[in-house]
Amino acid sequence: MQSQDKYRIAVLAAYALALHGFEYLLPTPIPWLRLGLANIITLVALTLFGFSTAMSVTLIRVILASIFTGTFLGPAFLLSFSGGVSSTAAMGLIYVVQRNLFGPVGLSLIGALFHNIAQLTLAYFLFIQRIEAILIISPLVIFIGVLTGFTNGVVADILIKNILKKDGKTIHNVT
């Protein structure tokens, strides 16, 4: 790994952590509702620098954020970790296999969907163990996830276009 890559990952992870922390402060009407703003940074990392950068940024963000909020290795951490890793993995897989099929909005929707699926599955095995409770809540969770995922994707799209316009020459996607 070149030092330039390390620098990129550090800067992106710092942005992601800041958004994650900002989001943590926002009041939400439902306790488990999260906007997933940090996924904007994951999308930028994935589209501009490739899968390994995106995954590094996600891992650093999830682990550091849980240490800062005191939930490291707790149930909230497990949900956050599984959601973050599976959504980044899903987005990365789609991006690597079919680069031009989906734009940032589509990738964001896929990420949000896999984030929700991973968390609901984990919540079933770890906490609730009542399949009907999971089934009742799943469509609502996924619906909200689609809305937040769409919004994040639009923001990421604008951000990526602006970065490319400004620094397009210095960015080489390494995947």
Partner 1 sequence: MTIADRVLFVVLITFSIAGMVIVQEAIPQGAYVNIEIDGSLAYTFPLDIDRIVPVSTPDGNMIIEINDEKVRVSESDCPKKFCVSQGWIAKGAIICLPNKTVILVGQGMPYSEKELDAISG
Number of Cβ within 10 Å of residue 117's Cβ equals: 19
**Distance between CA atoms of residues 64 and 61, nearest Å:** 5
Binding of partner 1 by 151 (CB under 8 A): no
DSSP structural state of residue 28: -
Q: Which of residues 15-34 bind partner 1 (CB under 8 A)?
A: 20, 23-24, 30-32, 34
Contact with partner 1 (CB under 8 A) among 26, 143, 166, 175: 143
Q: In this complex, which beta carbon is closest to partner 1, that of residue 101 or of residue 174? A: 101
Q: In this complex, which beta carbon is closest to partner 1, that of residue 12 or of residue 120? A: 120
**Distance between CA atoms of residues 7 and 157, nearest Å:** 23
Binding of partner 1 by 161 (CB under 8 A): no
Cβ distance 114 to 87 under 8 Å?
Answer: yes
Query: Which of the stretches 1-9, 45-53, 77-85, 160-168 binds partner 1 when contact is defined by CB under 8 A?
Result: 77-85
Binding of partner 1 by 157 (CB under 8 A): yes
The candidate with the shortest Cα–Cα distance to 91, out of 83, 71, 11, is 83
Binding of partner 1 by 137 (CB under 8 A): yes
